[in-house]
Amino acid sequence: MGEIILENVSKSFGQTHVIRDLSLHVAEGEFVVFVGPSGCGKSTLLRLIAGLEMVTSGHIRIDGRDMTAAAPYDRGLSMVFQSYALYPHMSVRENIAFALRTARRPEDEIRAKVAEAARMLQLEDYLDRKPAALSGGQRQRVAIGRAVVRHPSAFLFDEPLSNLDAALRGETRLEIARLHRDLAATMIYVTHDQIEAMTLADRIVVLNAGRIMQAGSPRELYERPANTFVAQFIGSPRMNLLPAAAVTGAPAGAAQVGLRPEDITLAADGPLSGRIAAIEYHGADLSAFVDCGPAGVLTVRAPGLVAPREGDGVKLAFGMAQLHAFDAVGNRI
| Interval 86-119: pLDDT, tens | 999 999 999 999 989 998 999 999 999 999 999 9
User: Of 168, 199, 228, which marks where a domain is finished?
Assistant: 228
Query: Is 53 within 8 Å of 45 (Cβ atoms)?
Result: no
pLDDT score of 163: 81
- Whether 114 is covered by a domain: the verdict is yes
Same domain for 144 and 274: no
pLDDT score of 172: 86
Mean of pLDDT over the chain: 95
Same domain for 288 and 222: no
pLDDT digits 0-9 by tens, 132-154: 999 988 998 999 999 999 889 99
Same domain for 190 and 317: no
User: Of 228, 263, 295, which marks where a domain is finished?
Assistant: 228
- Whether 333 is covered by a domain: the verdict is no
pLDDT score of 165: 84
What does the pLDDT average to over 306-311? 90
Least confident span in 68-82, 165-179, 188-202, 314-328: 165-179
Is pLDDT at 164 greater than 90 in this prediction?
Answer: no
- Whether 72 is covered by a domain: the verdict is yes
> Could you tell me which residues come within 8 angstroms of residue 288 by beta carbon, excluding any fewer than 6 positions away?
266, 276, 278, 279, 299, 300, 302, 308, 314
Same domain for 67 and 185: yes
Q: How confident is the model at residue 166 (pLDDT cuts 50, 70, 90)?
A: confident
- Whether 66 is covered by a domain: the verdict is yes
Beta strand pairing status for 16-26 and 265-267? Answer: unpaired
> How many domains, the chain?
2
Same domain for 173 and 24: yes
Same domain for 243 and 215: no
Same domain for 122 and 253: no
Same domain for 179 and 89: yes
- Domain of 280, in residue numbers: 238-326
- Whether 109 is covered by a domain: the verdict is yes
Same domain for 271 and 209: no
Euclidean distance between CA atoms 305 and 326, whole angstroms: 34
Same domain for 257 and 113: no
233-254: buried (b, 16+ CB within 10 Å) or exposed (e) per residue?
bbbeeebbbbebebbeebeeeb
CATH number at residue 290: 2.40.50.140
Is pLDDT at 1 greater than 80 in this prediction?
Answer: no
User: Of 198, 228, 258, which marks where a domain is finished?
Assistant: 228
pLDDT score of 169: 86
Is pLDDT at 48 greater than 90 in this prediction?
Answer: yes
- Identify the CA nearest to 178 among candidates 218, 117, 120: 120
Q: How confident is the model at residue 33 (pLDDT cuts 50, 70, 90)?
A: very high
Query: Is 80 within 8 Å of 50 (Cβ atoms)?
Result: no
- Whether 331 is covered by a domain: the verdict is no
Q: How many helices (H) and strands (E) does the chain have?
A: 8, 18
CATH number at residue 108: 3.40.50.300
- Whether 198 is covered by a domain: the verdict is yes
- Whether 332 is covered by a domain: the verdict is no
pLDDT digits 0-9 by tens, 74-88: 999 999 988 888 999
Stretch (H or E) spanning 182 = helix 166-183
Same domain for 62 and 26: yes
What does the pLDDT average to over 1-6? 93
Same domain for 202 and 86: yes
